[in-house]
């Protein structure tokens, strides 16, 4: 059954509309996922077309990892790309971490070509999944800034990109403890 068109109006019962992301984000290796749910193949409503209600299930011993970023320096954007009749989407997730944390440098060195999945959380709590079954996310750009003057920011900043579908709203749980 196709989606029946409906009105899309502003919800003025919600007083907040904050940009940026919460500072704690989650990520895992794409191949550590045992069951990767998808958005419905035949959604009956617009919001269902980009929403995953089920849980991601990890392989035994695997789990999601936490990453903390700098407030107001993490973001998630999507773009509709490609030519008419061939439109697709890409998602760009930006993360910035203070200092020159060797763990983060090592993460970028080791996973710059890995298949990854990230979960970003908007300020209002909505979780978005960057990466989907068959379409993992990957590191797109990265830079470490040492700064020239003491007033300059010293940080590591990188972007993660996923393609094909607008990042889904994820309503499942995120296990930060190994699957048993």
Partner 1 sequence: MEESKASPHLAGKFKVVGVQPGEVVTRNEVVDLRTISLAKAEELFKRGFRYLERINPEVKTDKSSTTTK
Q: Token pair for residue 37?
A: 């749910």
The answer to whether residue 174 forms part of the interface with partner 1 (CB under 8 A) is yes
Buried b (16+ CB within 10 A) or exposed e, 110-128: eeeeeebbbbbbbeeeebb
Please identify, among the stretches 11-19, 80-88, 157-165, 166-174, the one whose residues bind partner 1 according to the rule CB under 8 A. 166-174
The DSSP line for 62-87 is ---EEEE--TTS-EEEEEEESSTTS-
Size of the site for partner 1 (CB under 8 A): 16
Asked if 90 and 79 touch (Cβ cutoff 8 Å), the reply is yes
Closest-CA residue to 167 (of 131, 114, 122) = 131
- Show contacts with partner 1 in window 51-70 (CB under 8 A): 55, 57, 63-64
Give me the 100-139 binding string for partner 1, x by CB under 8 A, dash otherwise: ---------------------x---x--------------
**Nearest to partner 1 of 112, 171 (CB atom):** 171
Binding site for partner 1 (CB under 8 A): 26, 55, 57, 63-64, 121, 125, 171, 173-180
């Amino acid at each position: 059954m196709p989606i029946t068109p409906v009105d899309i109006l502003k919800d003025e019962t919600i007083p907040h509309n904050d940009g940026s992301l919460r500072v704690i984000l989650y990520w895992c290796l794409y191949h550590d996922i045992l069951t990767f749910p998808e958005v419905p193949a035949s959604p009956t409503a617009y919001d269902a077309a980009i929403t995953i209600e089920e849980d991601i299930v990890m392989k035994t011993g695997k789990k999601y990892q936490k990453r903390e970023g700098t407030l107001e320096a993490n973001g998630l954007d999507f773009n509709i790309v490609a030519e008419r009749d061939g439109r697709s989407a890409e998602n760009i997730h930006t993360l910035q971490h203070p200092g020159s944390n060797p763990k983060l440098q090592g993460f970028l060195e080791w996973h710059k070509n890995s298949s990854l999945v990230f979960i970003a959380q908007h300020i209002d709590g909505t979780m978005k999944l960057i990466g989907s079954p068959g379409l993992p996310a990957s590191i797109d750009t990265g830079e470490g800034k040492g700064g020239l003057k003491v007033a300059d920011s010293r940080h590591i900043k990188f972007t993660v990109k996923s393609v094909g579908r607008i990042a889904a709203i994820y309503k499942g749980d995120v296990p930060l403890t190994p699957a048993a």
